[in-house]
Amino acid sequence: MDAEKRVAIAEVCPSGAIRYRRNDGRPNESPPPVNLTAIREGGPCAVLAGRRQGFGMTLCRCGASKDKPFSDCSHHDVKCDASGEPPTGQADMLAVRDGPLNTDPQTDGPLRVRGNLESTGGTGRVLARVQGATPCCCGRSAHKPFCDGTHARVCFKS
C-alpha cells in the first residue's frame, strides 16, 4: 500500500492503535486541531485529542472491558445498550478547541478528563463542549456518558 494511504488511515484510526513515524523528513503525527470524542451507540467512546501518550484511544463505556479504561469490545458480549445520542449539554463554543488532554482513571470509578474537549453523538451532533469531564466507566450511570456516582453503589471494580 502507498505510504500516504497508510498515513491517512493512521490519522483517522479511532483507537490510536495504528500510528506512524515518517522517515522522509516530513512532519510526524500531530495533535488534531480540535479535541474530539465520539460516543458510539451501544459501544465505546472514541477520543482523538492531544494526549501525551498518543492521539487516539477508545474508552470503555459498558464497564465490562478487561483492559479498562480502554475498550476491548466486551460491549458486544454484554449487549451494551448505552445511547449514542444522549441529550445535549453545555455546548457553547470553546475559545480554544485543542491543547493537551489529560486522562486520569479513578480507582473503581470514572475517568477524570481535563482539557478542551468537544463531544459528538453517533450522528455527529455536538453533545457538549467542555474543559473537563468525568465519563462513566462502569456502564451504570443514569446520566451517561457522564458519571453520576452509581459506581460506588454497585461496587464497581476497575
Which positions touch ligand FES (CB under 6 A)? 109-110, 136-138, 140-141, 147-151
Q: How far is CA 138 from CA 64, 98, 157, in A?
A: 8, 27, 8
Question: Quick one: 36 or 147, whose CB is closer to ligand FES?
Answer: 147
Question: Quick one: 50 or 63, whose CB is closer to ligand FES?
Answer: 63
Residue 30 CB, nearest distance to ligand FES (Å)? 32
Spatial separation of the C-alpha atoms in residues 98 and 142, rounded to whole Å: 29
Question: Quick one: 121 or 139, whose CB is closer to ligand FES?
Answer: 139
Question: Quick one: 96 or 152, whose CB is closer to ligand FES?
Answer: 152
140's grid cell: 451504570
Residue least distant from ligand FES (Cβ):
147
Residue 150 CB, nearest distance to ligand FES (Å)? 4
82's grid cell: 448505552
Share in percent of the chain as helix, strand, coil (round to 5): 10, 25, 60
Spatial separation of the C-alpha atoms in residues 135 and 122, rounded to whole Å: 16
Residue 5 CB, nearest distance to ligand FES (Å)? 39
Amino acid at 4: E
Residue 110 CB, nearest distance to ligand FES (Å)? 4
Spatial separation of the C-alpha atoms in residues 122 and 105, rounded to whole Å: 24
